[in-house]
Chains A and B, each alone.
Chain A
Amino acid sequence: MSRSIVVTSGKGGVGKTTTSANLGMALAKLGRKVVLVDADFGLRNLDLLLGLENRVVYTALEVIARECKLDQALVKDKRQPNLSLLAAPQTRNKTAITAAHMKALVEVLSRHFDYVLVDCPAGIETGFHNAIAGAKEAIIVTTPEISAVRDADRVIGLLEANRIKDIKLIVNRLRPAMVKNNDMMSVEDILEILSIKLLGVIPEDEQVIVSTNKGEPLVLSEKLPLAGIAYENTAKRLEGMDIPLLDLNASSGSVLSRLQRWLTGKS
């Protein structure tokens, strides 16, 4: 049974594309066949994050216009052959395709892949409506900021009105130390406001910036940073595994104390 999931947030810059790339890669590592669809027409980024920019020949637009075959436009990741990318056109804008096109595209893709992950553009206009057209499920990405959470709430409402009822939340860029000092909204605060299911919590991590610039998703690192582990766990939860949330406060301790905690099984 194939799953088509749109990754969306309303607000820009909260980490939709980073989440799509890492989640897609993590699912591929778990042995699932995954295709990432960049629905951010005119502002494509997903190929950059995956380091696949120079391999994009055709985009979704050529597929829709029947100028190429679908498998010609799919860029297979050499590091992880389970992962493919369907890039968005760089030169056109969001009016280049319609919701019906997108729906048909996702439908065809879901026949060949276990997961179709659609990276949605920011905002709630045409681009958003196109991106959600083919999806059966949604992942909302938010950061612990009041504006991001408010926009997330708006987007959840719009998704529900468009018959997408299976909606899960990823809280991105959480800083446990700030939460502890009551300087940042906690995950509980966010869940209280949004009242939807939590899929994962990703801590703020400098490695994310490094990996973004290198074009190599975090979860491909040999020694996984904390955020990478969090993404892997999130992917496993999406697969239905019962993985507890990371103890993010552990990261503040030394490596030795973390090891000790791990060995003694105490958190």
Chain B
Amino acid sequence: MPELDADLSTATADEAETVAAKEHDSVTQQVRFKTINRQLHLLLPPERDIVSEDGETAPALLWSDLLQQLQQRLTGTERFWEAQTPVYLQTSDRLIDVPQFVELGEALQEYNLKLKQVITYRRQTALNAVTAGLSVEQAVAKEPLKITTNVGVPSEDPLYLKMTVRAGMEIRHAGSVIIFGDVHAGAEIIADGDILVWGKLRGLAHAGARGNRLAVVMALSLYPTQLRIAEAIAMVDPPKTSFCPEVAFIDTNLLNLDGESGISIVKAVDYSKQFA
């Protein structure tokens, strides 16, 4: 069986690389809330496909998917905002028509947020925003026409969501992700930084998705379908005791048969005194 084993191991390694690359690309294809200069900005992903340096494409988000994502983010973050907080909408290059502006406004209003201003560098979107009764700031196109994912970009502020992440949901973030709730099997959390789940982690978790081997995954109950840190992949045994918060990290002191360090899991109470 040694031959087969060797094949398998290379296959896994290849897979891991492509997976990591893909996730890197589509990081920006997500609806995001961001506080800029004490204002709440809603950032929509661009309307075109994102092409990475190695030619892989992350397809643009459909409007219906975009709305769905927005709803999810609103559910997860709702309690952080005061009533009628104004929202500044950054549409990048998206063409948004009047009914779509109305839809966005209604979705935000449902969570007591007020769509205040639209920031766009697309003339038609600006006109539509005015028709929908919104104030507009015409921005200058800063982004290059062909968006490429570049190295050396600082990571985003942590994304803090209070929600149950259910099967089929995907949370991607170019920083650390904190989930106050459970992550069910069939869900995916992909973060460039750490992943902290204050609840049960049962889905797939990928920390350090852009290759940061120092990233960690921690959960009150750590039993993900699959665990990835940077390019390392691990399958996890069920926790031995019913309540056992744990931390997963790449332990550089431990080497596997290939001479690489893999993912280790320790009890949360032991992590800081032994490894930090």
A interface residues, Cβ below 8 angstroms from B:
129, 150-151, 153-154, 156-158, 160-163, 193, 195
Residues of chain A with a CB closer than 8 A to B164's CB:
157, 195
* B64 and chain A: residue at smallest CB distance: A129
17 new A-B contacts at CB < 8 Å, known A153-B185, A157-B169: A150-B167, A150-B185, A153-B166, A153-B186, A154-B167, A154-B168, A157-B167, A157-B168, A160-B72, A161-B72, A161-B75, A162-B68, A163-B71, A163-B110, A193-B184, A193-B185, A195-B182
Q: Are B110 and A150 in contact (CB under 8 A)?
A: no
| A154-B186 in contact given A160-B75, A161-B75 (Cβ < 8 Å) | yes
Chain B contact residue count (CB 8 A cutoff): 16
A154 lies within 8 A of B166 (CB): yes
How would you classify the secondary structure of chain B's contact residues: helix, strand, loop or mixed? loop
Nearest residue (CB) in A for B68 is A161
Which residues of B are found within 8 Å of A153, using beta-carbon distances?
166-168, 184-186
* B165 surroundings in chain A (CB, below 8 A): 157
- CB nearest to B165 among chain A residues: A157
The minimal Cβ–Cβ distance linking A145 to chain B, given in whole angstroms, is: 14
The complex places the Cα of A153 from the Cα of B168 at a distance, in Å, of 8
Q: In the assembly, what is the distance between CA of A263 and CA of B128, in Å? A: 72
Residues of A within 8 A of B71 (CB): 160-163
| Cβ-closest chain B residue relative to A165 | B75
Near A by CB (< 8 A), chain B positions 157-177 give 164-169
Query: Nearest residue in A to B110 (C-beta to C-beta)?
Result: A163
Q: Sample 27 A-B pairs with CB under 8 A, ordered by A number.
A: A129-B64, A150-B167, A150-B185, A150-B186, A151-B167, A153-B167, A153-B168, A153-B184, A153-B185, A154-B166, A154-B168, A154-B186, A157-B164, A157-B166, A157-B167, A157-B169, A158-B68, A160-B71, A160-B72, A160-B75, A161-B68, A161-B72, A161-B75, A163-B110, A193-B185, A195-B164, A195-B182
Within 8 Å CB of A129, what residues of B? 64
* Alpha-carbon distance A195/B185, docked complex (angstroms): 13
CA distance A129 to B166 in the complex (A): 18
- Shortest CB-to-CB span from B221 to chain A, Å, is 12
Most A CB within 10 A of own CB, among B64, B167, B169, B184: B167
Cα–Cα distance between A154 and B187 once the two chains are bound (Å):
9
Q: Which of B54-76 contact A (CB under 8 A)?
A: 64, 68, 71-72, 75
Smallest CB separation, B4 vs chain A (Å): 29
